[in-house]
């Protein structure tokens, strides 16, 4: 009798878990990726502006929490990112202010560049921030992208001295 119940229980588990990979695929459908990229870091650190990108920043213009460059073939679906007419001088100003802020609140935390890819693996832009600035990228349609801004406390989380990110 006990063996019969084990067989029934195992059968139920298989029936319940079998569709889950398909559910996961549907759940994450249209999501792109953001991947660390040394060339992107170098471009930001050397204030190189890509003329094929529209640039945006998140947070304060004095201390942005992130800067993105999005291929002009794509539209950004967000009211939270602030568009900026980027020049090498403006990029230098933004990057230097981010580095200054990182030095004061996070003991010289390095800033990193990331390549942004759509859901099909095509690079559509770049991202620059400290590692703690988290986000996601989702394709709304073939040329409209949703990129979440980092949390509002990207810099504030370090200012109280608790260094919560280390916990």
Q: Are residues 114 and 145 in the same domain?
A: yes
Residue 21, pLDDT score: 45
Please tell me the pTM assigned to this model: 0.77
Residue 20, pLDDT score: 45
Residues of the chain with pLDDT under 50: 6, 9-27, 162-167
Q: What pLDDT digit, counting tens, does each position of 92-138 carry?
A: 999 999 898 888 765 567 899 999 999 999 999 999 998 888 888 99
Mean pLDDT of the chain: 81
- Inter-CA distances, 164 with 91, 112, 155, 159, Å: 29, 20, 11, 10
Rounded Cα distance between 106 and 165, Å, is 10
Q: Are residues 6 and 53 in the same domain?
A: no
Total domains present in the chain: 2
Q: Domain containing 65: what range?
A: 31-166
Residue 136, pLDDT score: 87
Q: Are residues 130 and 140 in the same domain?
A: yes
């Amino acid at each position: 009798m006990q063996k019969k119940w084990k067989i029934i229980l195992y059968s139920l588990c298989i029936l319940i878990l079998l569709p889950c990979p398909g559910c996961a695929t549907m759940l994450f459908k249209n999501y792109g990726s953001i991947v660390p990229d040394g060339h992107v870091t170098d471009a930001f650190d050397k204030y190189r502006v890509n003329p094929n990108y529209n640039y945006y920043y998140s947070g304060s213009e004095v201390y942005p929490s992130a800067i993105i460059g999005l291929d002009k073939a794509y539209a950004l679906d967000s009211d939270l990112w602030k568009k900026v007419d980027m020049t090498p001088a403006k990029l230098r100003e933004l990057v230097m202010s981010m580095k200054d802020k990182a030095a004061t609140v996070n003991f010289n935390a390095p800033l990193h560049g990331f390549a942004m890819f759509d859901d099909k693996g095509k690079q559509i832009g770049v991202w620059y921030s400290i590692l703690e600035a988290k986000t996601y990228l989702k394709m709304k349609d073939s040329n409209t992208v949703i990129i979440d801004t980092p949390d509002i406390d990207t810099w504030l989380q370090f200012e109280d001295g608790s260094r919560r990110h280390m916990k």
